[in-house]
Amino acid sequence: MRIVSGIQPTGNLHLGNYLGAIRNWVRMQDEVAEKGGQSLYFLADLHAISMPFVPSELAANTREMVAALVACGIDPQRSILFNQAQVPAHAELEWLLTGTARMGWLNRMTQFKDKSGKNREGASIALFTYPVLQAADVLLYQATHVPVGEDQKQHLELARDIAQKFNNDFGNGAEIFTLPEPIIPPEAARIMSLRDGSAKMSKSDPSDMSRINLTDDVDTIMQKVRRARTDPAPLPSDPAELAERPEAANLVGIYGAVTGWTPAEVLAQFGGEGFGVFKPALGELLASHLAPINARFVELRRDRGALDAILRDGAEKARALAAPTLEAAYAALGLLRG
């Protein structure tokens, strides 16, 4: 078993990242360590340059994200934690894979359509080829499982398509790349915005009220939950009745994801109650769950030297693991390496 996953160091870690992905990273890190496998988690700083960004903020955000991941329970002794920019094999393999990825496959990617919007011609080439770098991220390490939120599923299907075509076209009967499986938590696959039940919770939403950041203090969390958009009806007792109420469904889903309860179990406790009762209960639950993470984060982020050392050590291990697959890919393509 080899687990690989990444996160963009653009802004704060939010509840969607945490419940949709990072909590699973921590679980799988522990599981895989017991089985003698390996987990690699990285900051996707090379992906972050696909959209407008400020270089000095990127460096600071990369360090902050390392502190946040360690605060959430990623243990640099047990997982390999690094940033892409210190492992050039990611960018190298990406180029090799661009010979295999097809224009038609990338044209179907919804992220490019969403992020480029009406400005397709002005979008960066990196935004278009982004999923090929993502494929390189996981194929480079022969990842077997990739813990992600639902929004990354299409990118992982593309990684499988690229791996399969590369193996077929250039493998000469050998499996150069392992086909990775996405691991998506059913209870938190898609945490939605607090302001709009039809949009996912996201770092790029201009309104900070739309998300709970892992760095928010208790008062901020309580205020954001209190002001979350909802409809006026009380909570139903039957989960089926949440189907037409996306904002209510999201808050019930968040409560369930944190406690480990199904929506039916949440409604068994809160069905018939108004949001005047449910929201403070949810706010307190989140605040108490996030408080220890927040405290560790504040402590860790102070020590820039320690954060840089984590990334340096992680990158060294990652480079060693990446080397054989990168060489195999060069060789399969007939590229001479001396």
Residues at the interface with ligand TYM (CB under 6 A): 5-8, 16-17, 20-21, 44, 47, 134, 137-138, 146, 148-149, 151-152, 188, 190-191, 200-202
From the list 92, 78, 77, 83, the residue with the least C-alpha distance to 7 is 83
Closer CB to ligand TYM, residue 47 or residue 301? 47
Closer CB to ligand TYM, residue 23 or residue 279? 23
Is 115 tagged catalytic? yes
Q: Min. distance of Cβ 35 from ligand TYM in angstroms? A: 20
In the set 113, 115, 165, 317, the catalytic residue is: 115
| Token pair for 311 | 């990334």
Place of tokens 């990617």: 109
Q: How far apart are CA 52 and CA 58, in angstroms?
A: 11
Closer CB to ligand TYM, residue 190 or residue 195? 190
Is 203 tagged catalytic? yes
Q: How far apart are CA 320 and CA 41, in angstroms?
A: 15
Closer CB to ligand TYM, residue 13 or residue 267? 13
Sign of the dihedral through C-alpha 116, 120, 125, 128: positive
| Token pair for 161 | 């398509």
Give the type of residue at 216. Answer: D
Closer CB to ligand TYM, residue 51 or residue 271? 51
Q: Min. distance of Cβ 295 from ligand TYM in angstroms? A: 22
Q: Min. distance of Cβ 18 from ligand TYM in angstroms? A: 8
Q: Min. distance of Cβ 58 from ligand TYM in angstroms? A: 13
Closer CB to ligand TYM, residue 90 or residue 279? 90
Note the maximum CA span of the chain. 72
Q: Min. distance of Cβ 173 from ligand TYM in angstroms? A: 28
Q: Min. distance of Cβ 15 from ligand TYM in angstroms? A: 8
Closer CB to ligand TYM, residue 13 or residue 329? 13
Is 118 tagged catalytic? no
**Sheet containing 38-43: which strands, arranged edge to edge?**
79-83, 38-43, 2-7, 145-147, 181-183
Q: How far is CA 311 from CA 38, 83, 93, 270, 287, in A?
A: 17, 6, 21, 44, 29
In the set 35, 113, 153, 200, the catalytic residue is: 200
Q: Min. distance of Cβ 272 from ligand TYM in angstroms? A: 28
In the set 153, 165, 203, 317, the catalytic residue is: 203
Closest chain position to ligand TYM (CB)? 20
Supply the residues annotated as catalytic: 115, 200, 203
